[in-house]
């Protein structure tokens, strides 16, 4: 089942530029939605709150840093 995201408040990093690649994130009741900021009517990825928390923790610990 796809939630109605028509009134969702999307957030984008303040470090994002108009010509750069960026995603927007929306925090729902128990889930997190992610979409391409340049294709706002395109597909949306949905993550459970725990999945998102694990991802953010990995980012903070540098798991995804390019070497």
Dihedral class, residue 23 (left if φ above 0, else alpha if ψ from -120 to 50, else beta): beta
CA atoms within 13 A on the CB side of 66: 0
Average of per-residue pLDDT values in the chain: 89
Q: Please state, for a pLDDT cut of 90, what percent of the chain lies above it.
A: 58
Does the pLDDT of residue 1 top 70, yes or no? no
The number of beta carbons lying within 10 Å of the beta carbon of residue 60 is 8
**pLDDT digits over 9-39, tens only?**
999 887 777 666 788 999 999 999 999 988 8
């Amino acid at each position: 089942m796809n939630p109605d995201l028509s009134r969702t408040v999307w957030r984008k990093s303040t470090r994002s530029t108009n010509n750069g690649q960026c995603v927007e994130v929306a925090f729902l009741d128990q889930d997190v939605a992610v979409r391409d900021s340049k294709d706002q009517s395109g597909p949306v990825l949905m993550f459970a709150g725990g999945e998102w928390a694990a991802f953010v923790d990995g980012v903070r610990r540098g798991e995804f840093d390019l070497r």
